[in-house]
Structure formats: C-alpha cells, structure tokens
Amino acid sequence: MKHTMAAKGREPREEQLASELATHGVTFLSLPQAAVDRAASIWEHISSDALADEGRCMNFEQPKTWPQWPQCCRRFLLPCLPVQQLNFFVEDQGDSEDEEEFLRYANAARPYTLEELAEPFEEALEPLTRHFFGANERVFAVNAQFIFGNAKSKTEAHRDFLSRNTISLLTPLYDYSPEEASLHYWRFDENPELYRTTTLSKARRRRTHWYKRGEAVVFSGDLFHQTAPFKVPVDGWGSRQCRALFCLVLVGANALQSENNYEAICKNMRGPAGGYMVDPETEEFVYDPVSSSDESDAEEAASKTAG
C-alpha cells in the first residue's frame, strides 16, 4: 500500500485506533460509502457464478463495460483476450454435513483484481496503518477476497495467521441483522491468560461485534475470533442473496520477515487465499495454487479463516 498524506484533523483519531489495534487486537473504522459500493458492485457482478460453483478459477469481464458473457465464454475465451479482466479463485471454507450450509471465498487471483478490490480502501486505511506499523514500514495488501455463505451452524474460534504484523479488514456488503452477521472475538487486554497459553478455556471475556455496512472491523492476525453461527432468514436472503463480506489482508513486511516463524505465517496466509497472494518479501504476486500435497493443511486453514 502506498502511503499518502492524511488530513491533519484525522490524525488524533487514527492514532487512537492504532493504539486500540495494538493493545486490544481489534478496532473499528468508518469506511467511505463509495468504497463499499464499489466492492458490492464487483461482488454482484460475480455472485451468480461464485454461488453456483467452487474449486476453480473464474474469469469475468469488467463490470458495466460489455454485456455479460455466457459462462463458457468467460471460462475458455476471455482468458485468451488481451483485455483487463477480473479473476477469482473460488473455494469452500471447510466441509459441511448439511448441503444447504456453506461458507465460501472468492479470492483475487491476479494482480489487477487485487488492485481493483484494495484501492478504494487504501485512503481510509492509510493513517491507521501508518500509526500502527510505523511510517517507515513497508505496508501493503497481500490478498483480498469476498467471504460469503448461505448458513453456517458450526464454527470454530481461531487465530488467522499467528502474527501481530498482519491485520485483516472485514466489512459487510449489505445491511444485516445481528443474527445474520456477527463476529465473536477475544481482546488481548481482557484475556491475558488466553494469549499466554493459547487455551480457549482460559479466556475471561468474549465480545461480539455486529457487522454494519459502512464500518470495518480491523483486527490482528493473532486475535482469537469466531464467526457467529448464522442461518437462512425466515424470509430468505432476498436481493442480498447470502451473507457476504469483503476482506482485505495487509502486512508490515519488514517486521513480518523478522519473525522466527515467518515461513509458517506465510503458509497460514497462503491456504485461505488459495495460493494467490502477494509475497511479503518481494512484493510480487504469487501464482501458486494449493497443490495436492498441501490440501489437508490448506483445508484446515481455510475452514478456520472465516469472518
């Protein structure tokens, strides 16, 4: 992410948010409506295909540029054309005993797609990340994805990446009730024994955040959190189609590379991204789909890394 000058009036507030992120492991940030609207428009452009299938890359023409192509043309012809296009890797997050239940991600599978998803949020995030990581740190997004599902009755408390040099932004694309979209989390400062032992039974206090459109929860890659179980509303999801969130993962690259377990952290990031992400060392986009030898590790990571 390229740092830009922030308005001076915002600095005290952003410094406070950065302090909360460091001490609590989580903070909450208002987002520009245009950024959320842009993410929602891209989601709506790909949602029919993403909801219908998983386990492969999907290609899409730019929204509102051409009439939408038939799926077979997008799959076989579009990748051969020298035009800007959106590419996503779509995969389920873990298994479900109920076929009606699923939680799935559509991860940016090419640099241009990541840029299209991340750029609208950069200005809003920059003052916070500068105060949190430090003005001289290399801070940038390593992956972006939509996390969406019809229902999920069984979820697990987990930490995404086991690193405090990584952060995630999560925000809903539509308005949801607390029962439809909420997040359980355990703050650093309220649960010292939990973070000393990493044993959930040692936790003292669990909080719950209700996802609200226009507001992001920004949290550490070391924060214990859990998707609050949800089900299909009595009247269905309607025009919203499902529970859909946008997720952006950023790193402080220099500090991250200095960690003793750097390789393990990168593996933790790679699994839930389907292998498509920016390398924290080189800042180059990695085209490294999860191989069969990594499937069990990736499935475990993907089943836990959900919003």
Residue 117 and residue 108 in contact, taking contact as beta carbons nearer than 8 Å: yes
Q: Which residues touch 121 (CB under 8 Å, ≥6 apart)?
A: 31, 35, 169, 216, 248
Measured CA to CA, the distance from residue 143 to residue 153 in angstroms comes to 27
Number of domains in the chain: 1
- Asked whether residue 240 is assigned to any structural domain, the reply reads yes
Instruction: Report d(CA 45, CA 32) in Å as an integer.
Output: 21
Query: What is the pLDDT at residue 161?
Result: 97
Model confidence, pTM = 0.87
Distance CA 258, CA 186 (A): 26
Q: What is the CATH number of the domain that holds 256?
A: 2.60.120.620
Residues 157, 47: contact at Cβ < 8 Å?
no
**Contact at 8 Å (CB) between 207 and 185?**
yes
Would 1 be classed as within a structural domain?
A: no
What pLDDT, on a 0 to 100 scale, did the predictor assign at position 86? 87
Is residue 2, in this structure, part of any structural domain at all?
Answer: no
Domain-embedded: residue 253: yes
The pLDDT score that the predictor gives to residue 100 is: 77
> What CA–CA distances, in Å, run from 118 to 123, 168, 172?
10, 12, 15
Tell me what pLDDT residue 288 has. 76
pLDDT, residue 60, reads 77
Q: Name the DSSP class of 271.
A: G
Q: What's the pLDDT at 122? A: 85
pLDDT beneath 50: ranges in the chain: 1-9, 292-296, 298-303
Q: Does 206 map to a domain?
A: yes
pLDDT tens figures, 206-219 = 999 999 999 999 99
Structural domain span for residue 63 = 8-304
Interatomic CA distance for residues 128 and 210, integer angstroms: 21
Beta-bridged to residue 285, according to DSSP, are: 278
